[in-house]
Structure 1
Amino acid sequence: MLKIRLQGTVRDIRWFKRLLKRHPEIRVLQMSDIFSNKGTNRYFRSYVEIEKTDQDER
């Protein structure tokens, strides 16, 4: 399992989350909401837990 912190604009974070969900070799276990970062109004963060899918699930 991997725990990933995404950081970027809200649009970029949403785009990357959709990419992860569609990828055939990745199973998304959990996705957090998008949080604002201190000191900036432009960049936000989100957390994602993923794991590699089994051969049978593809």
Structure 2
Amino acid sequence: MVIRFRDYVDTEIIMEKAYKLKGTPSAIDRQYPSEISRARSELYNAMKRVTREVDA
């Protein structure tokens, strides 16, 4: 299900309360464009790699 909110503030309120769904079969997450999702994934992988190198 995809829900769009007219106001960004509404989105932020929902995301702040999403933690209450922990342990349930439901989840809430943001849907980013593919370019942003790919860039975030690459940055996350780079961060994990650097963290491993620092810890080693």
Larger radius of gyration: 2
Structure with greater strand share of residues: 1
- The structure with higher relative contact order (CA 8 Å, sep 6+) is 1
